[in-house]
Amino acid sequence: MPQLNPTPWFAILLFSWLVFLTILPPKVLAHTFPNEPNPETTKTSKAQPWTWPWQETPSISL
């Protein structure tokens, strides 16, 4: 069965990972963000709890 012979596809697999690991990391690590976050511009928001008019407190009647 030819698919069990690792000679043709194993070399392609190793070569493709070698290319990915040598070319892509420098490109990804060289990425810079256009806007750096400043601590002065960050705002803390006050979250208000929501009340749902259709959700009532369950009453237990025995």
Query: Is residue 26 situated within a structural domain?
Result: yes
Can you tell me the distance from the alpha carbon of 10 to that of 19, in angstroms, rounded to the nearest whole number?
14
Can you tell me the distance from the alpha carbon of 43 to that of 52, in angstroms, rounded to the nearest whole number?
27
Structural domains in the chain (count): 1
Angle at 8 between CA 5 and CA 14, to 5 degrees: 110
Query: Is residue 54 situated within a structural domain?
Result: no
Amino acid at 10: F
Q: What is the mean pLDDT of residues 1-21?
A: 85
Identify the pLDDT of residue 20. Answer: 92
* Domain of 27, in residue numbers: 1-31
- Whether pTM > 0.75 for this model: the answer is no
Confidence of residue 18 (pLDDT cuts 50, 70, 90): very high
Query: Is residue 41 situated within a structural domain?
Result: no
Q: Is 47 exposed, middle or buried (0-12, 13-18, 19+ CB in 10 A)?
A: exposed
Query: Is residue 1 situated within a structural domain?
Result: yes
Per-residue pLDDT of 27-60, as tens digits, reads 888 988 788 777 775 567 777 877 777 766 666 6
Query: Is residue 42 situated within a structural domain?
Result: no
